[in-house]
């Protein structure tokens, strides 16, 4: 039984064949999926989908690359309303992204400040609603951890698609946060990620596809889908010298405890 903790089922890339994608996931023993939203509209789309799929839960939030879709304060109330939905299991995907250029009309410094405001408002909301958070980082590690760590007593975060060293992760893991691995860990040269996957204790990491992106070997370069989390589990098991059953069971247990609403 595998658990894909990060799969963008609301991506337009799945609009044409989502039922077949979900069928293939179930056939590959992927028994649970968390679909993170990227903005308010995407969150609504995912909640409508999840109502009919017992193995799908949703994280609602504004992705840093879509932070320009919100301004002022009213959006926080909209997000609070969406977060009350029984299918919501976390706030996400939220974070900071300094890799992509600012959208039209934003100077770099203003864009970074706006992303930080949108992130902080969502961390406050998550803490208030007692929900954990799914965190996105792209070339923003220091600023992101500086904003998240002060919330450590009130919520837990998963640093999704983690590609750093174990030493980088350790202070976060010590505060109760998690990391999760995508298909990158299965690539031919995963670099120091291989060491991270070996070193991280069971109970402190999860698995994900980040579909439709980052397909693991042997699907690299194709559209990724939740069924492939099984390939990532096999890669992690190989690195750790554990059975795939052990990795699947450990990461499923960790995810069930992290996300609300699953027992």
> What is the footprint of Zn ion within residues 89-108 (CB under 5 A)?
93
At its nearest, how many Å lie between Zn ion and the CB of residue 211? Answer: 9
- In the complex with Zn ion, which residue's Cβ is closer, 4 or 93? 93
Biggest alpha carbon–alpha carbon distance for the chain? 51
Q: Which stretch binds Zn ion (CB under 5 A): 88-96, 145-153, 182-190, 223-231?
A: 88-96
By CB under 5 A, the count of residues binding Zn ion is 1
At its nearest, how many Å lie between Zn ion and the CB of residue 28? Answer: 20
- In the complex with Zn ion, which residue's Cβ is closer, 6 or 156? 6
At its nearest, how many Å lie between Zn ion and the CB of residue 166? Answer: 22
Pair of tokens at residue 120: 């902080």
DSSP 81-141: HHHTSTTEEEEEEEEEE-SSPPPTT--HHHHHHHHHHHHHHHHHHHHHHT--EEEEEES-H
Query: For the CA atoms of 54, 233, 202, 123, what is the dihedral angle to 10 degrees?
Result: -50
At its nearest, how many Å lie between Zn ion and the CB of residue 9? Answer: 11
- In the complex with Zn ion, which residue's Cβ is closer, 12 or 198? 12
Q: Which stretch binds Zn ion (CB under 5 A): 65-73, 86-94, 125-133, 233-241?
A: 86-94
CA 7 to chain centre: 8
CA 203 to chain centre: 16
At its nearest, how many Å lie between Zn ion and the CB of residue 38? Answer: 8
Q: Reduced to 3 states, what is the DSSP secondary structure of residue 185?
A: helix
> What is the footprint of Zn ion within residues 115-134 (CB under 5 A)?
none
Q: Which stretch binds Zn ion (CB under 5 A): 66-74, 85-93, 216-224, 232-240?
A: 85-93
Instruction: Return the CA Rg of the chain.
Output: 17
Which spans of this chain sit near Zn ion (rule: CB under 5 A)? 93
């Amino acid at each position: 039984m595998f658990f894909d903790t990060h799969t963008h089922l609301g991506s337009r890339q799945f609009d044409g064949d989502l039922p077949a994608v979900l069928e293939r996931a179930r056939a590959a023993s992927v028994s649970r999926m968390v679909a993170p939203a990227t903005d308010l509209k995407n969150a609504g789309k995912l909640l409508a989908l999840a109502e009919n799929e017992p193995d799908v839960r949703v994280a609602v939030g504004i992705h840093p690359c879509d932070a320009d879709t919100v301004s002022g304060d009213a959006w926080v109330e909209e997000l609070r309303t969406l977060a009350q939905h029984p299918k919501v299991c976390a706030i996400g995907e939220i974070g900071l992204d300094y890799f992509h250029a600012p959208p039209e009309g934003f100077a770099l410094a203003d864009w970074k400040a706006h992303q930080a405001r949108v992130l902080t408002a969502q961390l406050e909301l998550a803490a208030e609603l007692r929900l954990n958070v799914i965190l996105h980082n792209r070339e923003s590690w220091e600023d992101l951890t500086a904003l998240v760590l002060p919330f450590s007593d009130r919520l837990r975060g998963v640093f999704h698609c983690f590609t750093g060293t174990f030493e980088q992760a350790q202070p976060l893991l010590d505060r109760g946060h998690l990391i999760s691995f995508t298909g990158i860990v299965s690539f031919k040269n995963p670099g120091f990620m291989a060491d991270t996957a070996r070193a991280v204790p069971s109970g402190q990491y999860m698995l994900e596809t980040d579909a439709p992106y980052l397909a693991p070997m042997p699907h690299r370069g194709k559209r990724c889908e939740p069924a492939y989390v099984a390939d990532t589990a096999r890669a992690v098991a190989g690195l750790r010298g554990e059975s795939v059953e052990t990795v699947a069971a450990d990461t499923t247990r960790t995810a069930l405890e992290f996300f609300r609403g699953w027992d």
